[in-house]
Amino acid sequence: MNLNITGPQIVLGTMDFGTRVGADDAFAILDSFVAGGGVWLDTANCYSFWADPSGVGGASERVIGAWLRARPGAREAVRIATKVRQNPLVAHSWPQSAEGLSARAVQAGVEESLGRLGVGHVDLLWAHAEDRAVPLAETVGAFGALVTKGVARRVGAANHAAWRVERARSLAREQGVEPWTALQLRHSLVQPRPLAPVAEAGHRLLADEDLDLARSEGLGVWSYTSLMWGSYVRADKPLPQTYDHPGTGRVLSVLEDVAGELSATKNQVVLAWLMRQGIDPIVGASRVEQVEEALAARRVRLDDGHLVRFAEAR
């Protein structure tokens, strides 16, 4: 199948597959996603070591691999993104034993991911987090070599500072290898208080300079925690305390109004808001209905007036 993808996409986040989401439910979610026109699957070699009794990652990739084997032709219907960096090399020992981004670690991590997925290549390989103990030039060379070999079609940086991404791209040009062409960072409609630390280990918030870099260089941007763990629609999932400021209340009020005006759910409006800015939101799902709701966000049309209202509320 020739996948001609244009414009921002809903990306299916598979972090909980094989741990909090069993294989049967994961298969149903994947089937629904593809049936609804979804294309991109996002996973990582470390998913989800914190929820797996084994204390190491790999469960998500194994479930996707099993699904691909059970669905002839499915590999041609999807694009797969996975990540290296963070998987514990010693069970139940993180971050002490988290794999890094040395050339050897990157190569080993990708080979293991391909084995679990049962594929010959991934469509996008992410560096999951920075590793400043390793020369950036070494990491850049390792990622570039994987593209040259055909093991990864594209490469990108998740949770990296914008200046590190630009430095890496400069090093790639010097080495004559494929540069990082995509960014993945945490982003949603509501924002924490300025300078408030992110409580979740490893998360890095999307900043204006990230968007500036992406737009000037033509980089793709993916957002995670796009729906704030269900906090937009579930009273039992309050936003973290760092989001407790006047702007949050104003934004949520506008969100409720816009959702009513467009006959959409609040989650759909948030996803439409991200896509309107050229961002591909990652949406985790534990039920088929959540996939269907997310994919329907592609039909929600926000105009310039809606964007202004959200901007002024913040």
Residue 2: band (very low, low, confident or very high) from pLDDT cuts 50, 70, 90: very low
Domain holding 82, by residue range, is 11-243+266-302
Q: What is the tens place of the pLDDT at every residue in 258-268?
A: 999 999 999 99
d(CA 50, CA 32): 27
Contact 204, 185 (CB under 8 A): yes
With pLDDT > 70 as the criterion, what percentage of the chain qualifies?
98
23, part of any domain: yes
Burial class, 126, CB count within 10 angstroms (exposed 0-12 / middle 13-18 / buried 19+): buried
What lies within 8 Å, CB to CB, of 177 at 6+ separation is 140, 141, 143, 144, 145, 147, 148
166, part of any domain: yes
Cα three-residue angle 49-155-100, rounded to 5 degrees: 40
116: nearest Cα among 158, 75, 60, 74: 60
Contact 63, 105 (CB under 8 A): no
- Enter the pTM of the model: 0.95
Mean pLDDT of 97-126: 98
63, part of any domain: yes
Q: Does the pLDDT value for residue 6 go beyond 80? A: no
Contact 294, 285 (CB under 8 A): yes
Q: What is the tens place of the pLDDT at every residue in 161-200?
A: 999 999 999 999 999 999 999 999 999 999 999 888 888 9
CATH value at residue 92: 3.20.20.100
261, part of any domain: no
Contact 187, 249 (CB under 8 A): no
Q: What is the tens place of the pLDDT at every residue in 28-81?
A: 999 999 999 999 999 999 999 999 999 999 999 999 999 999 999 999 999 999
Q: Does the pLDDT value for residue 5 go beyond 70? A: no
250, part of any domain: no
214, part of any domain: yes
d(CA 82, CA 242): 29
Domain count, the chain: 1
201, part of any domain: yes
Three-class DSSP category at 25:
helix
Question: Can you give the pLDDT at residue 1?
Answer: 45
Cα–Cα separations (whole angstroms), residue 165 to 80, 159, 205, 219, 295: 22, 10, 15, 11, 30
252, part of any domain: no
